[in-house]
Amino acid sequence: MRIISGFHKGRRIRPLKKLPVRPTTGKSKEAIFNILSNRFDLECISALDLFSGTGSISYEFCSRGSLNVVALDHNKNCINFIKATSNELKFPIKAMQNDVFVFLKKTKLYFDVIFADPPYSIDVKKFDILIDIIFSRELLNNDGLLIIEHSKQVDLSQNKKFEKKRSYGSNCFSFFEKKQICKPNSVP
């Protein structure tokens, strides 16, 4: 695993073999961050990395200048690995061990980008629960973006917040957007 761009471009990170993870491929990560960097000033955003595993997505945000990054995973070994790697790279990642759904229901934090990479074995119904919690609790800032990585067998296009889907190899990414609501000017 390596960091694609930014301050630590090309830096290799070697996760422990005992971590129960499936890291996002370099090609997929590069494509996703090209989309993000064309849409956001990555130095000015807040990002949440759900089911963060090795922290690969969080490191990419920080290497590109993001200073407000939260990495969340239920696995203690994953969180310890992210904390150790963040300290080594001097990244300001706030790594937290928690169940994603419990965290989302209780957090008071808001984000410009939420990236979720749940295990491919997750029950398909949980995707809708995840999306519903994020949008009903308004955890995305205006014009914020939720990106969910999933297998090709999963179709999230029926969700009313669905915007688009991109596929890179065997990885699929569904995008959901919180659009800023423009109110018409009132005429006196």
CA angle, 61 then 26 then 81, to 5°: 60
pLDDT digits (tens, 9 = 90+) for 57-109: 999 999 999 999 999 999 999 999 999 999 999 999 999 999 999 999 999 99
pTM: 0.89
Q: Tell me the average pLDDT across 161-186.
A: 80
Give the model's confidence band at 168: pLDDT under 50 very low, under 70 low, under 90 confident, else very high: confident
- Alpha-carbon gap, residue 187 to 133, rounded angstroms: 36
H-run or E-run covering 106? helix 100-106
Quote the CA–CA distance of 96 and 103 in Å, as a whole number: 10
- The CATH architecture to which 26-178 belongs is 3-Layer(aba) Sandwich (3.40)
Average pLDDT (5-19) is 73
Span between the terminal Cα atoms of the chain, in Å: 59
Q: What torsion do the CA atoms of 130, 103, 106, 44 make, to the nearest 10 degrees?
A: -90
pLDDT in tens, 121-163: 889 899 999 999 999 999 999 999 999 999 888 999 998 899 9
Measured CA to CA, the distance from residue 134 to residue 168 in angstroms comes to: 25
What 3-state class would DSSP assign to 148? strand
Residue 127 identity? F
For 139: left if phi > 0, alpha if psi spans -120 to 50, otherwise beta; the answer is: alpha
- Residue 27 has a pLDDT of 81
